[in-house]
């Protein structure tokens, strides 16, 4: 059985900073469960796992590691079933979200399974956003790296001397490009995850009718 989500008395925060340094602005905490909290914020909506929350919010919502792990396992099991069903539809010929809604068997994807799948995907998106932010930060650092080279020059008397010159570090540029490519891959994954969440939400709103016997 899936643990029910508790509707929290809406708490508004101007800024929420997680333990891993990610910041959310204009936050409204709308609900919580054993795994974490669901929020609306300036950038959209999200779900933040309890272990990423600051200690004051962990205490307020009575974080329990054992219960959180139990619910995560249940959500993972339901998410796998939902993900497999959605993947089968996407691989066949689901051209639009409405087609996807009509074709997914109502018995195969119950509302509980869809909710578990959506929760899991929201956590994946949140983690990917944090990783992407770190990659972009690292890329910026690498692009700012420089090195000093010395070029030989000659004065008007023919005397040779070394002239120092600061140039971009090619190794830093290569690393920056690698980080940026990884960041783009994460961005693509986030986009795909959001599309799958949208498809699942549509499935909840427009459940297909059981086949007539």
pLDDT in tens, 73-86: 887 777 677 667 66
Least confident of 39-43, 143-147, 185-189: 143-147
> Tokens 């989500």 sit at which residue?
5
Asked if 124 and 72 touch (Cβ cutoff 8 Å), the reply is no
Asked if 117 and 79 touch (Cβ cutoff 8 Å), the reply is yes
Name the DSSP letter for residue 144. T
Under the banding of pLDDT at 50, 70 and 90, the label for residue 64 is: confident
pTM for the model: 0.44
Q: What is the pLDDT of residue 14?
A: 92
Ranked by mean pLDDT, the top range of 153-157, 190-194, 199-203 is 190-194
Question: Both tokens of residue 188?
Answer: 């693509």
| Mean pLDDT to the nearest integer, 148-166 | 76
Query: What separation in angstroms does the CA of 181 have from each of 132, 137, 172, 187?
Result: 10, 13, 14, 10
C-alpha–C-alpha distance, residues 131 and 186, integer Å: 8
Asked if 8 and 29 touch (Cβ cutoff 8 Å), the reply is yes
Enclosing H/E stretch for 104 = none
Q: What is the pLDDT of residue 210?
A: 43
**Position 167 pLDDT exceeds 80:** no
Under the banding of pLDDT at 50, 70 and 90, the label for residue 212 is: very low
Greater confidence (14 vs 64) lies with 14
Share of the chain above pLDDT 70, in %: 77
Q: What is the pLDDT of residue 183?
A: 85
| Helix pair 170-205, 111-143: axis angle to 10 deg | 160
**Position 15 pLDDT exceeds 60:** yes
C-alpha–C-alpha distance, residues 35 and 4, integer Å: 11
Q: What is the pLDDT of residue 28?
A: 92
C-alpha–C-alpha distance, residues 20 and 27, integer Å: 17
Greater confidence (137 vs 153) lies with 137
Q: What's the gap between Cα 23 and its chain centre? A: 13
Phi first, then psi, for residue 56 (nearest 5°) are -65, -35
Under the banding of pLDDT at 50, 70 and 90, the label for residue 98 is: low
Question: Both tokens of residue 122?
Answer: 């929201």
Alpha-helical (H) ranges within 31-169 are: 55-60, 65-92, 97-103, 111-143
Q: What does pLDDT average to over the chain?
A: 76
Q: What is the pLDDT of residue 73?
A: 81
């Amino acid at each position: 059985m899936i643990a029910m989500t508790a509707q929290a008395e809406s708490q508004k925060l101007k800024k929420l900073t997680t333990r891993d340094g990610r910041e959310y602005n204009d936050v409204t905490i709308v609900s919580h469960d054993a795994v974490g909290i669901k929020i609306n914020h300036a950038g959209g909506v999200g779900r933040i796992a309890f272990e990423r929350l600051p200690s004051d919010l962990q205490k307020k919502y009575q974080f329990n590691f054992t219960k959180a792990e139990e619910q995560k396992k249940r959500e993972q099991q339901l998410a796998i079933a939902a993900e497999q069903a959605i993947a089968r539809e996407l691989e066949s010929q689901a051209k639009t979200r409405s087609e996807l809604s009509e074709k997914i068997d109502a018995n195969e994807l119950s509302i509980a399974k869809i909710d578990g799948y959506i929760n899991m995907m929201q956590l994946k998106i949140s983690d990917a956003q944090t990783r992407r932010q770190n990659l972009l930060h690292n890329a910026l650092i690498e692009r700012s790296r420089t090195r000093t080279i010395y070029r030989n020059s000659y004065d008007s008397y023919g005397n040779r001397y070394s002239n120092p010159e600061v140039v971009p570090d090619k190794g830093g540029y290569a690393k920056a490009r690698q980080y940026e490519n990884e960041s783009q891959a994460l961005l693509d994954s986030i986009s795909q995850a959001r599309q799958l969440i949208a498809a699942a939400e549509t499935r909840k709103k427009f459940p297909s009718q059981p086949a007539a016997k």
